[in-house]
Amino acid sequence: MKENLEKVKLLARDLRNGKEFPRSPRERLGGYVLAARAVDKCRAVLVGWQGEYHSNCPLDQRWLKFAEINYDAFRLFVATGATDDEIVAWIGEHAKKRSRATSSSGTTGNATYA
């Protein structure tokens, strides 16, 4: 996988000035809450547009841990300039397979992932 930050810039939200924001934690990507927001923050960090936001923050880590996705692998893939649809496919290949009810509700046991 080759890094393509010019393509990432075309997809990234500029979070520096308070006029753009990462997507809501409730917005789903690939069936997961938190994933779309994690993608937005990761793209912004890659191009230096993160403002006050942090990629791989505790909220991102909740989703990554739940999906059993390695952050470094996720970041490397996002750095290729992957679109949301490509990231959904990548998540499908790399995330731990769970029942639809568990991944959609964002809960497992007593832990909540929303």
109 vs 6, 60, 66, 112, 113, CA distance in Å? 42, 19, 12, 8, 11
| Residue-level pLDDT at 105 | 43
What spatial distance separates the first Cα and last Cα of the chain, rounded to whole Å?
30
Q: Is 70 exceeded by the pLDDT of residue 8?
A: yes
**Contact of 68 with 33, CB cutoff 8 Å:** no
| Residue-level pLDDT at 102 | 55
Please state whether 61 falls in left (phi above 0), alpha (psi between -120 and 50) or beta: alpha
Total tally of structural domains belonging to the chain: 1
Name the residue range of residue 14's domain.
Answer: 5-112
**Each residue's pLDDT tens digit, 52-66:** 999 999 999 999 999
